[in-house]
Amino acid sequence: MRNLRKFFGYLTLILIAISMLYPFFAMVNLSFVPNNEIFADAGKVIHSNLTLQNYKNVFTQIPLSTYFLNSLFVASVVTIGQVLFASMAGYAFARLNFRFREGLFLVILITMLIPPQVNIIPLFFIMREFHWINTYNALILPALFGGFGVFLMRQYFLGLPKDLEESAKIDGCNLFQTFFKIALPLALPTVATLAIFTFVSSWNSFMWPLIVTNTEGMRTLPVGLAIYKGSFREITLWGELLACSVICTIPVIGVFLLGKKYFISDILQGGVKE
């Protein structure tokens, strides 16, 4: 009975994995198929007539490399900045005693309940007053601070044994040395988890970059592809769009693979906490 239950459990997981991987496989496969053959045989899983023409068309018709590099730069800086600030703030809320600590943390939690769309108009006016419209400042600075990251890091640091930090203080480490040499390295699984979530969120961001950018040289990949799709008149070039989609997923998959070990470790640690 136990083996039968395990068999059905694995079978369920395999079916779920196939249902999630098949659309991705179809996207990659169809991105190499000419436009006139994509819908010729809708039930065909693997096509034999493959070509790189869709990818060539994408790079020649739109400044895809510019969009890609903009998104990569913005997402990387936002990820590094938010991880650093969230880690420092989370450590402060977990270990330092200062006035209104609990009240300030409650305010941070409340900000997580506010829909991001509510902040768009006041943020836009702030960016305009600083003359940051259509600059990297507008794309990066508002995304450097987030309540979720502070909450996540604070919860980890609360569970960190204080004996380690006290030993570091006895050895002559000050607050910053204790944080960067003891606490932060131990929090690497949680840092990797936050970095993955932040990078994916920044990479996929569409509404804010659409509002604060107005030239091709500053557009990020989601905005550029949306404008490219909107430029179609009579037919939709599905091959080119699928090629763009494949290119969009490469950095996200790469970041997850780099942080997979720590990400899974963090999940397992959370599952065995008492």
Q: Which of these, 177, 181, 191, lies nearest to 83 by C-alpha position?
A: 191
Architecture of the domain made up of 64-272: Orthogonal Bundle (1.10)
pLDDT above 70 as % of the chain: 90
Distance in angstroms between the alpha carbons of the first and the last residue of the chain: 30
> What does the pLDDT average to over 160-181?
85
CA dist 244 and 45 (Å) reads 20
Distance CA(241)–CA(200), nearest Å, equals 20
Whether residue 182 is predicted with pLDDT greater than 80 in this model: the reply is yes
For residue range 216-227, what is the model confidence (pLDDT) as tens digits?
889 999 898 887
Residue type (1 letter), 78: V
pTM of the model: 0.84
Q: Where are the domains of the chain?
A: 64-272
* CA angle (90, 118, 226) in 5-degree steps: 100
Distance between CA atoms of residues 215 and 224, nearest Å: 10
What CA–CA distance (Å, rounded) separates 192 from 268? 14
**Cβ-based neighbour number of residue 125 at 10 Å:** 10
Whole-number Å distance between alpha carbons of 220 and 216: 9
Note the pLDDT of residue 85.
Answer: 94
Residue 18 confidence (pLDDT) = 87
Res. 137: pLDDT tops 90: yes
Q: Compute the CA torsion angle 68, 72, 75, 81 (nearest 10 deg).
A: -150
Measured in degrees and rounded to the nearest 5, phi and psi for residue 144 equal -75, -20
Which of 158, 152, 36 minimizes the C-alpha distance to 96?
Answer: 158
What is the pLDDT of the chain when averaged over all its residues?
85
pLDDT of res. 141: 93
Categorise residue 211: left if φ over 0, alpha if ψ from -120 to 50, beta otherwise. alpha
φ, ψ for residue 72 (rounded to 5)? Answer: -65, -40
Residue 147 has pLDDT above 80, yes or no: yes
The predicted structure's pLDDT at residue 274:
41
Q: Identity (one letter) of the amino acid at 222?
A: P
**Token duo for residue 230:** 């909107």
Q: Are 231 and 223 in contact (CB under 8 A)?
A: no
Query: pLDDT value at position 232?
Result: 52
